Structure 1
Amino acid sequence: MYRILIVDDEPMIRKGLQKLVEQSELPIESLRTAENGVVALQRIQEERPDFLFTDIRMPKMDGLELCARVAEMDADIQVVVISGYGDFEYAQKCLSYGVKEYLLKPVNIKGFQHVLEKLIRNQSKVSSESFVAVTKLEQWAGRMEQAVWMLQQAELDCVVEEIQAELKANKLKLNRVSDILQEIHTLLHQRLNVRDVYFMQGELDLTGAVSEEEAWLRFTTAISGYLDELRIKRKGKLKDPVEEAKHYIETHLAEEVSLEEVADFIGLNPSYFSQLFKQSTAETFVQYRTRRRMEKAKKLLQQPQWRITDISGEVGYADHPHFTKTFKKYEGCLPSEYRQQMGIRS
């Protein structure tokens, strides 16, 4: 199954190329278009194509710059440049960016089919060079399943290091690494749920990962999350960990509580807790804590017996100027001005 992206600022040409692709009877996973290089880069970040067909002359970002940006990504994207006769010398500059094929306008069926066949042959070669056996993936997933089920973090880390070393030795591109990590995670998730003891909710989304480091961080965070989820389930905790965290923050607003401290209190890995908290609340830990502090400060400011300097300490700000600055950023006015709006003299 192939992913294809067509980039041209002329709608008729985009439609014509789409038709040629559809007529080729190529097994297509996705066929998308973009009207210029800027939109094309957005499409590529969303989903890496196998084949990219791009015009030379386009507004906002032309084909030459697009080819340069794609080359910087170090991705297995085969690029075909489409140009008119007058742009031929310009198109040749793209060769320095790894472009191997070009099509002259107007594009005919025979020429397009010839280029497409060459792309497929090249893709087969790339796929064979970066091949990792399914049995290997299943073996890794099996070992990880056992490590998670037995709550063996050290063994889990060992398997991850082994996978990382093998993929690095194969010199795989980012999109291939992401595909493999996604497949391992899917296999692990299925294996854990097949046990039919607990339903594991772990998810992994590598969409938009711009580097291998980011892809691996998301992967390891998701995997470690299974350990944390299993610990909670085995303790028989009926409370939602995020709700527990909120309650802990609420009762410690006067203190400088850290994410690590709260994660330790509820028994979760800090990275996993951070991800879980944001998914559940649509806020980061710090954003949530700040909002709750400011909301408490507003309630206290409405009570004349409280001095503003005492309120800053009551909501966790030993540095009064920092409290004032944060309150103004959150509410749009100083604490003293807020009080005046309430008809209270400071």
Structure 2
Amino acid sequence: MRTVLVVEDEKLIRQGISTMIKRCGVPVEEVIECANGLKAMEVLREKDVDVMFTDIRMPKMNGIELVNAMQELEKKPITIAVSGYDDFSYAVEMMRGGVREYILKPVERDKLKNVMEKLEEEISKMKDAQKNNRELGKKFLKYVLEDKDESPETLEALGKNIREEVGDSYYIVVSSSTDEIQRELSGSFMLSETSGSVIHILGKEKYDQLIEKLSDEENGIVSTAGISDCYTDAAYLKKAYLQAIDRRSKAFFTETIVYETKENTNVPQKLIENGIRLCDKTQVSTRVHLIGTDKTEQLEKEWNGFFIAAGREQIPAKEFEAALAFFTKEFENVYKKSFPMDASKPYLYGSLSEFRDAFLDAVYKENSRFMENSGDTQTEKMIQAVDYIKKNFQTDINMAVVSNYVSMNYSLFSTAFKNYTGQNFVSYVRDLRISEAKKLLLESQLRVNDIGAKVGYDNSKHFMKNFKAVVGVSPTEFRRNSVH
């Protein structure tokens, strides 16, 4: 292994563990020492770490907080908790968060040696598997992306590789790289990553575990992935891939995972025809030219209409993609600069609403560049806006309501609000709601779902997802941990 990180606030213990690691017989290129979780997170953000040994009780950021914080990282180290008998309940909590083992203090040389040897073998096997995955991934991409059919020999080789990796039956999963499902698929067989989409292949057992996790109302995951039907023959790889791609597109617009064929929504043909007209090059060009004018209300109306139609499945996926590709080129032609984001690749985002928010934010910022700031008056309006939000965040509040309340243009308000608070509107309201939810979890006996509703979430799953994203644990776990 290349790098081991030791996180321990007591210097002598930290140095002792580091020395034992260096002398255990497992080749390690570098052992890094940190006195607390904050320093450890700095290291983890800067470089890849294979294995991390961490104490639980530490100043500034303890071991539990460190394990929760590192969940944001793309590459997480295999983590071993090191602490005393008194901390066993906390160690169990850490193991729920992905910590591999728990070593008691004082650390025994033989115990640490056994752990290091086991991890070295695991890492070695993982690297071999990753190498094989890359090779198979190349073959898979070549097969599914090229029109010509592969020879029976190539298909048989692909089938053999797949059976060795996942068993006799398989499913193809296509998702965005930021999808929560990535956490569940960590360590599974990733075929490739292309155009912002991650492609995995799963066996039946892993698939069943994933579906069970998706069904968990409180601790489950929110995903917009597309998953194919079950197949057993490598000859159907391309069919499975295209099916997963199609379902991923469906999931993007409906904002929920799609793993089985659903009946098409009965959208009247006339509405579909209207939706397609919104994608016409003339209409897209008109919306491009509205940017930078004082017709901000029309600008908002036009783009909101486009995204509302897409969300109601009144715009076919292909027309939606083509309209955005044309928008990107037209914006560059008109303004002689690139649009601030790659609007031609919507599936880089998990869902339509995520993409819409990012896209409209970029549109409004570009529009705001042509508008004059109103100095002191603008600051006064931001003070009014913040006061209004703090008094009404428990309601179904949104940026349009608040900008109207302070009599400001929507796009100008968006930019001014972020400049004033340091956060965008959605994050600011979310943090207020979660802060109040934490207070209610500690000070009341209300049910979790009732607390979510009380702070402004009409969807309990949405509340739990946001709470976990901010706090690092679910509301139930937060309340339980706070009792100890």
The TM-score normalised by the length of structure 2 is: 0.35
The TM-score normalised by the length of structure 1 is: 0.45
Larger radius of gyration: 1
